[in-house]
Amino acid sequence: MKPQSFGRPRRHYRVIDSTNERGRALALAGAPSGTVVTADEQTGGRGRRGRTWSAPPGKALLCSAILRPLGSEHALLPLAVPLAVCETAESLAPVECELKWPNDIWLDGMKLGGVLIEAQPPEWAVIGVGLNVAIGPEEFPADLRHPATSLRHGVAVEDALAALVERLDGWVAADRERVVAEFSRRDALRGRRVEWQSAGGTAGAGAGVADGIDERGNLVVVDEEDERHSLGSGEVQLAVRDA
């Protein structure tokens, strides 16, 4: 069965706590696959690992899309969605995006966007995307963990949404090989020194050089003893050490 395309129905809010929070509530209430929640402004925007996500009103794409059901064919969804975001950005402005595993979108080494997927398998996933569209350099908070940037080039947030939902349709349905190949092509970590810490899994802590993405979508890191580690995105917190 062909899944419902993303973008309809759409609920838009001028101000909301978090589009992901609203998306979760709608998913729990049975909203159909394809439903999208957008907002001009979030008062409690969520990032990964319990962080916050903020953006000046009207200057970022703040979007959460419901996918249901959530099957084994979506195992690489956390890598597929950032690919859709990269293509969205590149369709609107003369830019080339890279990806910092698992799902940060980078432009010129700075963070352009992020993805937060919250799921209740096998029923649904809420795919949250934040994409900095028209934020001036002076508008980013000074204390960001990683420098941020914005698409600019006169791009409109509504155009970014239209481009994103179209590309989500393709990437959410993409097969594993295509996702791994395209993510590898955009991999900003390959060859760079990274450190990881366990984030609830069995991965422990360690350091080494990133050596690409494996077929499970895990990050491969080679340590000083030449041992290869396959790190799952839910299991580790990662830091780039030579950035």
Min CB(43)–ligand BTN separation in Å:
10
Min CB(222)–ligand BTN separation in Å:
26
Min CB(197)–ligand BTN separation in Å:
17
| Span near ligand BTN by CB under 6 A; candidates 46-54, 162-170, 212-220, 227-235 | 46-54
Nearer to ligand BTN, 19 or 208 (CB): 19
Nearer to ligand BTN, 64 or 149 (CB): 64
For position 150 contacting ligand BTN by CB under 6 A, the verdict is no
On the question of a cis peptide bond just before residue 102, with omega within 30 degrees of 0, the verdict is yes
Min CB(138)–ligand BTN separation in Å:
21
Q: What span, in angstroms and rounded, lies between the C-alpha atoms of 185 and 212?
A: 9
Burial-class residue 177 by CB neighbours within 10 Å (0-12, 13-18, 19+): exposed
| Span near ligand BTN by CB under 6 A; candidates 17-25, 141-149, 166-174, 197-205 | 17-25
Residues 98-127: x/- map of binding to ligand BTN (CB under 6 A)?
------x---------xxx-----------
Min CB(223)–ligand BTN separation in Å:
26
Total residues contacting ligand BTN (rule CB under 6 A)?
A: 20
Residues across the chain: 243
For position 146 contacting ligand BTN by CB under 6 A, the verdict is no
- Most distant CA pair in the chain: distance in Å? 53
Burial-class residue 78 by CB neighbours within 10 Å (0-12, 13-18, 19+): buried
**What letter represents residue 117's amino acid?**
I
Whose tokens are 């491969």? That residue is: 220
Burial-class residue 59 by CB neighbours within 10 Å (0-12, 13-18, 19+): middle
Q: Are 76 and 102 a contacting pair, CB within 8 Å?
A: no
Q: What span, in angstroms and rounded, lies between the C-alpha atoms of 70 and 193?
A: 34
Binding residue for ligand BTN, selected from 6, 7, 20, 160, defined by CB under 6 A: 20
Nearer to ligand BTN, 38 or 208 (CB): 38
Nearer to ligand BTN, 5 or 43 (CB): 43
Q: Are 113 and 129 a contacting pair, CB within 8 Å?
A: yes
Q: Which residues bind ligand BTN (CB under 6 A)?
A: 18-20, 42, 45-48, 51, 53, 62-64, 104, 114-116, 128-130
